[in-house]
Amino acid sequence: MDEILNINNLTKAYDDINVLDHVNLTVKKGEVVVIVGPSGCGKSTLLRCINSFEPIREGKVILDGETINPCKGKLNEVRERIGMVFQNYELFPHKTVLQNMILAPVKVKKIKKKEAEKEALALLDRVGLSGKKNSYPRQLSGGQKQRVAIVRALMMNPEILLLDEITAALDPEMVREVLDVVINLAKEGRTMVIVTHEMAFARAVADRMVFIDGGRIVEEGTPDDFFENPKTERLRKFLDSFSYQ
């Protein structure tokens, strides 16, 4: 498998405090990497560094051979190639589901509106939301909004998809419908970097697990090794915090 993303020696500081400390991570085409770790350990920051929402202090992020943070070229052209879905959906509230989905393809990729709509409808159909194409975000449940946010990102045909705790704001009964969509994307061979607190989901979807603590990658491995035989005490403690025995 080809390497698509390479995070090389990345250090990120806020107010002179390193929140990411010499992080190295590579993601291969079609691979699903799931990042877990305690609150405040730097997971979101890492994702935000990947598409240059955050300037970095040291190191670099390389997408398909091209250094994208620090970015010398046009940031918007780089971000076009990276999909990102946020915890709070961030749909555009004044646009319908369909309008949300076609905005960037039409404006950025200059795709014809009709074509974009056709593609959007096909995607909506796949996530069971074709009936909602003319609804405004306020008319959707959290789970529906998040599914729209995912297919909106897919409309740009990103080379890699970043998902940051996309079920954290959802009521428990809606988590499943969103995670099922992600599992299907993984089966299709989408390259993804996922941050989540849903351990069962992580185990099911991941090709590789990464544990971050205090801004460093403390441990990584296959899901089975990671969950069955954690090598570090810190990961063991972290995993224990999710069980109730």
Partner 1 sequence: MDPEVLIDYFPRYAEAFLLTVRLGFTGIFIAFVLGIVSAFFMHFKVPVLSQFFGGYIEVFRNTPLLVQLFFIYFGLPKIGIATSAEVCGAIGLGLLGGSYMAEGFRSGLDAVSVSQTESALALGMTGGQIFFNVIFPEAFTLSVPAIVANVIFLLKETSIFSAISLMDLMFTAKDLIGLYYNTTEALFLLVVFYIVMLIPVSVAGNLIERKVRYKMFGA
Ligand X SMILES: Nc1ncnc2c1ncn2[C@@H]1O[C@H](COP(=O)(O)OP(=O)(O)OP(=O)(O)O)[C@@H](O)[C@H]1O
Three-state DSSP class for residue 40: coil
CB of 47 to partner 1, least distance (A): 10
- If the CB atoms of residues 154 and 212 are measured against ligand X, the closer one turns out to be 212
Least separation, in Å, of the C-beta of 107 and ligand X?
A: 28
The 70-109 site mask, x for binding Mg ion (CB under 5 A), equals ----------------------------------------
Site for partner 1 in 154-183 (CB under 8 A): 156
Task: Please report, as a single letter, which amino acid is at residue 154.
Answer: L
Name the segment binding partner 1 (CB under 8 A); options: 12-20, 145-153, 219-227, 234-242: 145-153
Return the number of the residue (137 or 215) whose C-beta is nearest ligand X: 215
Number of H helices and number of E strands within the chain?
A: 9, 10
Binding partner of 108, given ligand X, partner 1, Mg ion, none, CB within 5-8 angstroms per partner class: partner 1
Taking CA atoms, 85 is separated from 40, 66, 195, in Å, by 19, 23, 11
Distance between CA atoms of 104 and 119, rounded to whole angstroms?
Answer: 13
Q: Which residue is nearest to Mg ion (CB)?
A: 44
SS3 percent helix, strand, coil of the chain, rounded to 5, is 40, 25, 35
# binding residues, partner 1 (CB under 8 A): 31
Per-residue burial over 206-217, b if 16 or more Cβ lie within 10 Å, else e, is bbbbbbbbebbb
CA 183 to chain centre: 13
Contacts with Mg ion, 33-72, as mask; x by CB under 5 A: -----------x----------------------------
Choose one: 8-16, 78-86, 169-177, 198-206; the region binding partner 1 (CB under 8 A).
78-86
C-alpha Rg value of the chain to the nearest Å:
18
Q: Quick one: which of 214, 212, 194 has its CA closest to 204?
A: 194
The residue with tokens 């990120």 is 12
Residues near 111 by beta carbon (within 8 Å), at least 6 away in sequence = 102, 105, 119
Summarize as ranges the residues that interact with Mg ion (CB under 5 A).
Answer: 44
Summarize as ranges the residues that interact with partner 1 (CB under 8 A).
Answer: 51, 53, 75-77, 79-84, 86, 88, 90-95, 103-104, 107-109, 136, 138-139, 149, 152-153, 156
